[in-house]
Structure 1
Amino acid sequence: MSRECVVGLDVGTQGARALAVDAAGRVLAAASQRLPERAGPPLPPGWSEQEVDSWWEAARACLQQVGAQVAPERMVAIAVTATSGTVVPVDAAGRALRPALMYNDARAVEEAAQVQEAGRALAAKLGYAFQAPFALPRLLWIRIHEPELFERTACFLHAADYLVLRLTGELGLSDSSNALKTGYDLLELCWGKWIERDLGIPLAKLPRVTAPGTRIGAVSAAAARETGLSPGLAVAAGATDGTAAFLASGAIAPGEWNATLGTTLVVRGVSRDLVRDPAGRIYCHRHPEGYWLPGGASSTGGEWLERRFAGADWPALDRQALALSPTPLTVYPLARRGERLPFVAPAAEGFIEAPAGTETGALYAAHLEGTACLERWVFEVMESLGVPVGPRIHVTGGAARSREWLQIRADLLGRTLVRPQVVEAAFGAALLAAAGTLHSSLSAAVRAMVHPECAVEPRPALRDAYEALYARFREACARRGYG
């Protein structure tokens, strides 16, 4: 049996996580490190920033711990994943010139409209719209509001790019997954001249882009001293955290889909063809092996748990809900204003159609059902756009831990739900590191390393009852003009 392994590193909003994984998908070592709370004066409303040095400190601590559990000479490659749309301007020496503008920073609303106007041809070609959460509007914001810093910037990096810089010492390396939100053309595989011509952002300030999983460098002697990794260890191009988590779900072939249900519902699948949505609900990443990864995020998910059932015994309510479902109630469990998938409605609000005095258990069950109804609707949208959805959905996210909720979702979707053993973005990064090292390709790595923990089948005897429940849900939404 091979003793070789790969390392996946994930640096998110709250902390860092590193895994050492062997060719069979066994986790040999794991480490986590929280990021410190942001210091300094409060930011204006809607702004979100982080000190990039804290990323490296957390990453370094995780890698040291992993190296203490697994001999570094067993490691053959490392890949990094981090937040999507985060922007780090650095100088020619690779020093960050300001705190990172994070993926959830909302300051660049006006700039997003300017980028959309300038990049409308690319947006139409790739079937999406530039929005404030994208990275390119943040670059434009810096050019307009921090012009001196903009001039001193040698390269604008994404979060994962900055960590690759710290590992390799090489400036300006990125991947197509992260570059999407900076306006990279996924069809022509280049930066469009319009970025420089119409937005005033020199292409020389943008990183070189490769496919995720491609070897892009090696761990430098300096990084080896700081992390305990072996100097010369191969560094593979990573991906956004969403793409890495998708890979970790086990979905890899056309027609296979992943649904991640946490605070919100995020779906992503594999398609042979680029999928364009005139309504702007979805966008496509490029699969490293040439396929497309259509997907999108709903504004609805599990947020209602904390909003409406805070402090409750959720596992007990899950068990009660399965006994009560299907209920005669109708709930659209949107916890805040505005929906983006399966329909776009900035003024949409959730609703509850239930008699006064309905018991907590039944109301909770109806919320589970409503979330599953919305999930089914999302997959119907995908199919309406010509994207096949297979009979099995790979499920991840906090909600996937509840077997009862999985059963209700399977019943309403009419599909088998498969939960993998390891559900982490760091594991997805390890899969990218394994492509071409432990395995011949990314697909081969996913098939060999991702293993199902459980599969939940729909219950045929309840099919008609759930069909009626779903029809009621859609009718209730239609009465309010939703969809």
Structure 2
Amino acid sequence: MHSPAPAPGDPHFTSAVATPLVAGIDVATAAVRVVCLDARGTVYAEGRAALPQPVRDGGGSSEQDATRWWPAAAEALRQATAALPARGAEVTAVAVSATSGTLVLADGDGRPLGPALMYDDRRAADLNAEAQRRGSSRWQALGLTVGPTAALGRAAWYARHAADHPGAARLVHTPDLLGRHLTGEPVATDWSHALKTGYDPRAGEWPGEVLDALGLPAHWLPPVQPPGTSVGTVCAEAAAETGLPVGCDVRLGMTDGCAGQLATGAVAPGQFVGILGTTYVLKGVTRDLVTDPAGALYSHRHPDGWWLPGGASNTGGEALAHRAVERLLALDESAAARGPASCVSYPLRREGERFPFVAGAARGFTLGTPADDADRHRADLEGVAFLERLALERVAALGVPVDAPLYAAGGGSRSPLWTRIRATVLGVPLRVADRAETAFGAALLAASGTLHPSLEQAAAAMTGEGRLIEPVPEEKAALDDSYARFTEELASRGWV
């Protein structure tokens, strides 16, 4: 676990030479979070500031006041920098991560000309369908599908409504706007935040044929650089607002999901992380681009030029959301005592599945009758673990090597029982990450090339060893039998 920062009076504290730190900024939907770390991953300070909730009209529109991003980021940075030991530590580099696909139309100086269109805004679904058709060969080579909420369609929507925005000159992702405030001038965007806006990281270009077909001005789009690239330094105005030192290096971040993956330590080829939150997400690192004909898996590009394949299921912790937290703890205890479930569950609480298989007709099911609530609870935990095993088998079938242990993160990974079940079902140890947070991942990108020569070295030094959870040998045979019933049922229903 990460130790607290040394303070005056501590033998490790020194005021003679400032300890170099990095800061990671996470611009989430409802708040901005900041964390300051040293080269060992020790947390020195944190900050948080609220953002206004997006305005959603029920018809697919989702907007947020983009002029609030910088004041919130500056406030969170002030909180963090004010908490640093006086003359004992100094932030030397900073990076920003944000939600994927959020963008706003801005003037030539990068000032927003209206509300930002959020990652889940669906107003441009028809334009995204057109983008998919016009660039089908490009997207196929990239292993990507332009979905209804892709930012590319929203960018084209802005172009269709340019008359409503006099002075429109550029499209700005959230980190681009903050980068402009930090450095005092426009900055490049990173190829992670640019992906859903249509950037092709395989070819290293914006899709000109698609932009032309959609009537989207190419000059609206920013230059693109790898995550971790230095794009300037903190200017005097930003230093006064944030407490960061003038000259602090500003480096490009990645989207929230990618930064969260980096924070687990899964940054090198063969390393994968299973993130068990509301839904289950599998992310990893490969040397080469892997495309999935079914479209269940797609890839961001790694800062070092490798690839980050990932997929998100429609089931996960959501399967337990109808149970109170206190009840979950009691059920975990009872389920641990009883051993493997007597029935088999696929705890899908919504319609359709998207990973590790794509089936709009998929529905949850239970094979057999649970003996009691603890038995049903145990079956649900096992069902999500079965889905995780199927996901890893899907990845293996695509020719992707997965090294052990599997990294683990997300709220579900805090359950010792669930983590043991997952390890046993998979037959490999799980390494539960200490602090798999977006701001932490952004800080790792800031540390790459500053506190450490590379991202891989930064992750090795800063993410910690985590907790290693081993399989339970005496439960393996029973869980293998249940997994076989699980996959046979999926096949019988035509979903796999």
- TM-score band by shorter chain is over 0.9
Match of 1:399 among 412, 428, 435: 412
Distance 2:325 2:268 in 1: 40
Question: Where does residue 359 of structure 2 map in the other structure?
Answer: 345
**Match of 1:52, as an amino acid?**
A
2:143 equivalent among 105, 127, 138: 127
Give every structure 1 segment of 4 or more consecutive aligned residues whose post-TM-superposition deviation is greater than 4 Å: none
Letter in 2 for 1:348: A
Partner of 2:423: 410
Residue 449 in structure 1 maps to residue 462 in structure 2: yes
Structure 1: distance between partners of 2:98 and 2:156: 22
User: For the Cα contact (< 8 Å) 1:20–1:430, is it kept in 2?
Assistant: yes
What is the aligned partner in structure 2 of residue 107 from structure 1? Answer: 123
Partner SS, residue 377 of structure 2: helix
> Contact (CA 8 Å) 1:284, 1:292: kept in 2 or not?
yes
Pick the aligned partner of 1:264 from 267, 276, 279.
279
Which one of 2, 7, 27 corresponds to residue 11 of structure 1? 27
Q: Superposition pairs for residues 140-179 of structure 1, below 5 Å?
A: 140-144=156-160, 146-149=161-164, 152-179=167-194
Structure 2 residue identity aligned to 1:289: D
Q: Deviations over 1:14-35 (max 9, x none)?
A: 2111011000111111122222
1:51 maps to what in 2?
65
Aligned partner of 2:333 in structure 1 is 319
Q: Which amino acid aligns with 2:312?
A: A
Alpha-carbon displacement from aligned partner over 1:94-132 (angstroms, at most 9, x marks no partner): 211121111122222212210101111210111111112
1:299 to partner: Cα distance? 1.2
Map 1:73-472; keep pairs closer than 5 Å: 74-144=90-160, 146-149=161-164, 152-306=167-321, 308-310=322-324, 312-355=326-369, 358-472=371-485
Give the counterpart letter for 1:347 in structure 2.
A
On the 8 A contact 1:81/1:241 being kept in 2, the answer is yes
1:56 aligned partner, one-letter code: W
CA–CA distance in structure 1, aligned partners of residues 166 and 477 of structure 2: 63
Q: 1:76: Cα distance to partner?
A: 0.7
Give the C-alpha shift of residue 256 in structure 1: 0.7
The 8 Å contact of residues 52 and 65 in structure 2, kept in 1 or not, is answered as no
CA-to-aligned-CA distance 1:159-189 (integer Å, 9 cap, x gap): 2222212222222520011111111121221
| CA distance in 1: counterparts of 2:291 and 2:429, whole angstroms | 27
Q: Is residue 315–residue 384 contact of structure 2 (8 Å, CA) maintained in 1?
A: yes
Instruction: Give me the whole-angstrom Cα distance separating, in 2, the residues matched to 1:311 and 1:439.
Output: 41
Q: Secondary structure at the match of 1:89?
A: strand
**8 A Cα contact 1:175 1:212, kept in partner:** yes
Given residue 220 of structure 2, which amino acid in structure 1 is its aligned partner?
K
Unaligned runs of 5+ in 1: none
AA at the equivalent of 1:411: T
SS state of the match for residue 275, structure 2? strand
- Tell me by how many angstroms 1:419 deviates: 1.2
In 2, distance between residues paired with 1:177 and 1:53?
Answer: 23
Q: In 1, distance between residues paired with 2:143 and 2:253?
A: 24
So what's the TM-score if we normalise by structure 1? 0.95
Residue 311 of structure 1 and its aligned partner are, at CA, apart by 5.9
Separation of aligned partners in 1, 2:253 and 2:26:
10
C-alpha distance in structure 1 between counterparts of 2:312 and 2:180, whole Å = 30
How far apart are 1:451 and its partner, in Å? 0.7
Give, in whole Å, the separation in 2 of the partners of 1:92 and 1:157.
11
Aligned residues: percent identity?
Answer: 45
The aligned residue for residue 60 of structure 1 is: 74
1:474 aligns with 2:487: yes
Q: Whole-Å Cα distance in 2 between the matches of residues 477 and 317 of structure 1?
A: 27
Q: Which moved more, 1:404-413 or 1:308-317?
A: 308-317
Distance 1:66 1:465 in 2: 50
Q: Is the 8 A contact 1:330 1:366 kept in 2?
A: yes
Q: Is the 8 A contact 1:195 1:203 kept in 2?
A: no
Give the aligned residue type for 2:336. L
Q: Is 318-327 or 257-266 further displaced after alignment?
A: 318-327
Q: Supply the AA of the counterpart residue of 1:200.
A: G
Structure 2 distance, partners of 1:242, 1:295, is 10
- Compute the displacement of 1:434 (Å): 0.3
| Counterpart secondary structure, 1:451 | coil
SS in structure 1 of the partner of residue 120 of structure 2: coil
Q: How far apart, CA to CA, are the structure 2 residues paired with 1:200 and 1:38? A: 28
Where 1:431 maps in the other structure, the secondary structure is helix
| Structure 1 residue 328, shift from structure 2 partner | 1.9
Q: What is aligned with 1:35?
A: 51
User: What RMSD, in angstroms, separates the aligned Cα atoms of the two structures?
Assistant: 1.7
TM-score, normalised relative to structure 2:
0.93
Give the deviation of 1:265 after TM superposition.
1.0
What SS does structure 2 have at the residue aligned with 1:415?
coil
Helix, strand or coil for the counterpart of 1:422?
Answer: coil
Contact 1:211 1:237 survives alignment (8 Å): yes
Counterpart of 1:326 in structure 2: which amino acid?
P
- 2: distance between equivalents of 1:63 and 1:257? 31
The answer to whether the 8 A contact 2:187-2:231 is kept is: no
Deviation at 1:152, TM superposition (A): 3.6
Q: Which moved more, 1:46-55 or 1:10-19?
A: 46-55
Shift of 1:44: 3.5
d(CA) in 1 for partners of 2:413 and 2:131?
37
Q: Distance in 1 between matches of 2:71 and 2:156?
A: 29
Deviates more, 1:360-369 or 1:67-76: 67-76
CA contact (8 A) 1:325 1:408 kept: no
Check the 8 A contact 1:176/1:210 in 2, yes or no: yes
